[in-house]
Amino acid sequence: MSEEKPPVEHCKGVNGLEKVVLREVRGSSAEVYLYGGHVTSWKNDHGEELLFVSNKAIFKPPKAIRGGIPICFPQFSNLGNLEPHGFARNRIWSIDNDPPPFPTTTSNRAYVDLILKPSEEDFKIWPHRYEFRLRVILGPGGDLMLISRIRNTNTDGKPFSFTFAYHTYFSVSDISEVRVEGLETLDYLDNLQDRARFTEQGDAIVFESEFDKVYLSTPAKIAIIDHEKKRTFVLRKEGLPDAVVWNPWDKKAKAMTDFGDDEYKYMVCVEAAAIEKPITLKPGEEWKGRLELSAVPSSYFSGQLDPQRVLQG
Ligand code: BG6
């Protein structure tokens, strides 16, 4: 029996930038801009937006879109002479019409394949040849999956190293009602204290002020519990040992030109990443990093919010 392929629409988004809309039969959807290879929308089957995008986001190169899922490559953060969080998030990606086979089955799923290769200008700032393939998949239940494959295509025999993050902005009802589970007792680098290393104490993470930490060697699953919305986001990741948790809070929010003064209340970034130990690829080698996001009603857990069950399941 032949299966009907879910619709994938190519159209223009804000400022005429090209985007791809993935739709799933039960009503969920996702949008991916070629600018940045950037997922800017992920909606459940009730049409509710699950990602945060700032009302002041600037959809115009060279500014990366503030919200959604920026891709940080070839560096996370602001080290050396590369631009902060690398350049992948503000380059125009192409549709990859003929990607090498992916192991993940996509037979009845809506998906799109994008590719980024260095331009001659990029080569001057980061002197390496690579192919970065990104597949964005919307699953039948509305789950969103991103698979990145980065291959070293240098012809000079040289390896390269990079750090990476899926800088995901989740939409939340009120940051003071949010808890992140799965990172307690882990070591982290505190970006607000010159990346000093500490060990997380106590219970789940809650938010009362600016927060900017890189958790190290994290488990494959992390949960974000939004008490007010009665919704739990579950992140599942592979190839991405670290996890950044960020909320700018009020002062930094005011300092960002593309972010509303109060918007910090409605977002939290939990970013599946590879930061502490950069990934090194020799010519011909390929790295893969996978992120899977699902959003489930918290009431699903027998009326009682039990994040441990989310993390164990
Ligand atoms: C986070 C970093 O991942 O991204 C923060 O940990 C940073 O330190 C934030 O402020 C936003 O970065 P940008 O470059 O998108 O403003």
**DSSP for 81-109, written as a single string:** TSPTTBSGGGSB-EE-SSPPPPSS--TTS
Q: Tell me, yes or no, if the pTM score tops 0.85.
A: yes
CA of 244 to the centre of ligand 1 (A): 10
State the pLDDT at residue 138.
97
User: Is the CB of 85 within 6 Å of ligand 1?
Assistant: yes
User: Is the CB of 38 within 6 Å of ligand 1?
Assistant: no
State the pLDDT at residue 298.
84
C-alpha span between 52 and 142 (Å, rounded): 17
Ligand 1 atom nearest 64 alpha carbon: 15
User: Is the CB of 242 within 6 Å of ligand 1?
Assistant: no
User: Is the CB of 113 within 6 Å of ligand 1?
Assistant: no
C-alpha span between 64 and 72 (Å, rounded): 10
User: Is the CB of 271 within 6 Å of ligand 1?
Assistant: yes
User: Going residue by residue through the chain (313 aa), what tens digit of pLDDT does each one get?
Assistant: 445 667 899 999 999 999 999 999 999 999 999 999 999 999 999 999 999 999 999 999 999 999 999 999 999 987 777 889 999 999 999 999 989 887 766 777 899 999 999 999 999 999 999 999 999 999 989 999 999 999 999 999 999 999 999 999 999 999 999 999 999 999 999 999 999 999 998 789 999 999 999 999 999 999 999 999 999 999 999 999 999 999 999 999 999 999 999 999 999 999 999 999 999 999 999 999 999 999 999 865 433 445 555 565 5
Q: Class assignment of domain 8-312?
A: mainly beta
Cis upstream peptide for 74 (omega within 30°): yes
C-alpha span between 232 and 270 (Å, rounded): 13
State the pLDDT at residue 311.
61
| CB neighbour class for 31 (10 Å; exposed up to 12, middle 13-18, buried from 19) | buried
Phi, psi values for residue 163, rounded to 5° = -115, 165
Pocket test for ligand 1, best of 77, 78, 189, 190 (most atoms within 8 A of CB): 77
Pocket test for ligand 1, best of 167, 169, 259 (most atoms within 8 A of CB): 167
CA of 17 to the centre of ligand 1 (A): 24
CB 31 within 8 A of CB 24: no
> Taking the CB of residue 120, how many other CB atoms lie within 10 A of it?
6
